[in-house]
Amino acid sequence: MTNKFKPNILTAFGIIFILMAVIIPIQNLVVWGPDFVYDFYTSPEITAEKISIGVIVMGLIFIIASFRKQVFLNQ
C-alpha cells in the first residue's frame, strides 16, 4: 500500500492562512521600504507584521495537523 497524502480542509486552511499572512509584509515592503518594516517588527507595539507571524505559525499548525490526521486515519 502506498500512503499518498490527500489534501483535506486543514491543508486548504493552512495554505490560505499562510498566503494571507505573507501579503502584509510584502505590501508594507513595497509601500514603506525595508527600514520601516524592520522597525515594525522590532517595535514594542502590536503591528500587522507581528500578527502575520502568528498567522503563518497557525497555518503551519493546520498543515501539520492535516498530515497527522491522515496518519491516524490510515492506521
pLDDT tens digits for range 9-29: 889 999 999 999 999 999 999
Cell numbers given for 13: 486552511
Alpha-helical (H) ranges within the chain are 9-32, 34-42, 48-74
pLDDT at 74 over 90: no
User: What's the number of domains the chain is made of?
Assistant: 1
pLDDT at 2 over 60: no
Q: Per the domain annotation, does 2 fall within a domain?
A: no
Q: Per the domain annotation, does 52 fall within a domain?
A: yes
CA dist 16 and 59 (Å) reads 8
| Residue 62 contacts residue 55 (beta carbons within 8 Å) | no
Q: Per the domain annotation, does 1 fall within a domain?
A: no
The confidence score (pLDDT) of residue 1 equals 42
Q: Per the domain annotation, does 3 fall within a domain?
A: no
Q: Per the domain annotation, does 18 fall within a domain?
A: yes
pTM tops 0.85, yes or no: no
Work out the widest C-alpha separation in the chain, in whole angstroms.
Answer: 52
Q: Per the domain annotation, does 70 fall within a domain?
A: yes
